[in-house]
Structure 1
């Protein structure tokens, strides 16, 4: 069982919530203590979509675990994490770190925390 209180809220695009694969995630320090700083965007989210705050919702850890469980594996990544999600034939295969401009592993992501 996932304890939602431990994780706080995740900001996700409605596209992610509706099942479009995550393409990009970043973590920033939130000024709202109930939010953990993680933001997830789908592969369909373009600049126009992102500009509309109505296209985003806040979800709990139990819900994110159903949509994109790997985010809980990298939950402790430091603020400033900036990750592109890699897929092969529709299957998630790893991350590309946009800061270091190279593929990275979950262990490497967490080592930076």
Structure 2
């Protein structure tokens, strides 16, 4: 199977408001297990993050798993969510493909499933 591309053709822009941060535009990589679907995607993502080289935090009051992660090797910061049987990698303004690729490779290494990746862009 061909290796997926994590090219980022457009980046979200960040605006600071009085009550927080807002992003315009979105680039999202949706990673979906094939063949033998992973039953515990939240556990898989948590294990990848815990094994490093990540510094991360989760958003506890949400109905789904959502992490903000920094890859200490590549310096990339991105969000990771688990939703509807998929792992979603959310691009932030300074995210580079290397950090996304590294996370994906670690996800694949810890899983017995094949994976399909779809890039979604919302401008």
Q: What TM-score, normalized to structure 2?
A: 0.22
- Which structure has more relative contact order (CA 8 Å, sep 6+)? It is 2
Q: What TM-score, normalized to structure 1?
A: 0.24
